[in-house]
Amino acid sequence: MNYSDVTLFFNDYKLGPLREALVRRGTTLEEELTKHFEKLFSDLIPEETRREIENRIRMEAEAEAARREAARRFAVIHMHEPGDDFYFTTEYETSALKLAHVYREYLQPEVGKYALDSLARHFADTQMIDEQVYNVLCDAQPNDARIAICADFDFEKRQLSFCEQNDEEWRAYSLRDIAGAAYAAERRKYISPGERAELFADYLSGKELPFADGSEDPSADESPGLTM
CA distance linking residue 199 with residue 181, whole number of Å: 8
The burial class, CB within 10 Å (0-12 / 13-18 / 19+), for 146 is middle
- What pLDDT, in 10s, does the model give residues 29-49? 999 999 999 999 999 999 999
User: How does pLDDT run across 115-136, given as a tens digit for each residue?
Assistant: 999 999 999 989 999 999 999 9
Rounded CA Rg of the chain: 26
Give φ, ψ of 174 to 5 degrees. Answer: -65, 150
pLDDT beyond 80 at 178: yes
- What is the reported pTM? 0.70
> What H or E segment, with its residue span, contains residue 70?
helix 47-71
| Alpha-carbon span 185 to 175, nearest angstrom | 15
In which band, very low, low, confident or very high, does the pLDDT at 168 lie, cut at 50, 70 and 90?
confident
